[in-house]
């Protein structure tokens, strides 16, 4: 995924700063659906990873490529093993949606994933 960014490093934000350089990724939408069990807590998290891009001429191609790389990277074995209090059971892709924003210049892609977690 890093190769898709001019700096070689992805810019990832919860809330992007004003005038953040394109492209960048935001992670504003995580939905935790906890399922308590007798000995441990487990559950599913639905994650929406947003990719924002602006090219000349306007196109969704860059956003789609970055979104595809995000999905590929997150589906790789061990990609989410650094979570401190949970073990990742499975990562299931839901879909990738892309569109051109109403300003006619900004491309937006959303990668939707479901992640099953087990407490450790």
**Burial grade of 117 (CB within 10 A; 0-12, 13-18, 19 or more):** buried
Whole-model pTM: value is 0.80
| % of residues, the chain, pLDDT over 70 | 74
pLDDT mean across residues, the chain: 82
* Pairing of β 12-13 and β 24-36: parallel
**How many domains, in total, are found in the chain?**
1
Residue 70 exposed, middle or buried by CB count within 10 Å (0-12, 13-18, 19+) = buried
Distance CA 73, CA 117 (A): 18
pLDDT band at 68 (very low <50, low <70, confident <90, very high): very high
Q: What CA–CA distances, in Å, run from 44 to 82, 86, 120?
A: 17, 11, 15
Residue numbers of the domain that contains 20: 2-119
| Tens-place pLDDT, residues 76-116 | 877 766 655 556 677 888 999 999 999 999 999 999 998 88
CATH number of the domain enclosing 9: 3.30.2000
């Amino acid at each position: 995924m890093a190769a898709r960014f001019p700096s070689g490093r992805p810019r990832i934000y919860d809330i992007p700063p004003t005038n953040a350089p394109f492209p960048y990724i935001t992670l504003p939408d995580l939905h935790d659906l906890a399922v308590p069990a007798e000995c441990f807590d487990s559950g599913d998290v639905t994650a929406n990873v947003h990719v924002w891009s602006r090219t000349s001429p306007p196109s969704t191609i860059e956003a789609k490529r970055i979104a595809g790389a995000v999905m590929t990277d997150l589906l790789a074995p061990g990609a989410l093993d650094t979570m401190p209090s949970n073990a990742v059971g499975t990562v299931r892709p839901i879909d990738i949606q892309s569109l051109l924003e109403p300003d006619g210049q900004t491309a937006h892609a959303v990668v939707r994933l479901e992640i099953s977690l087990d407490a450790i």
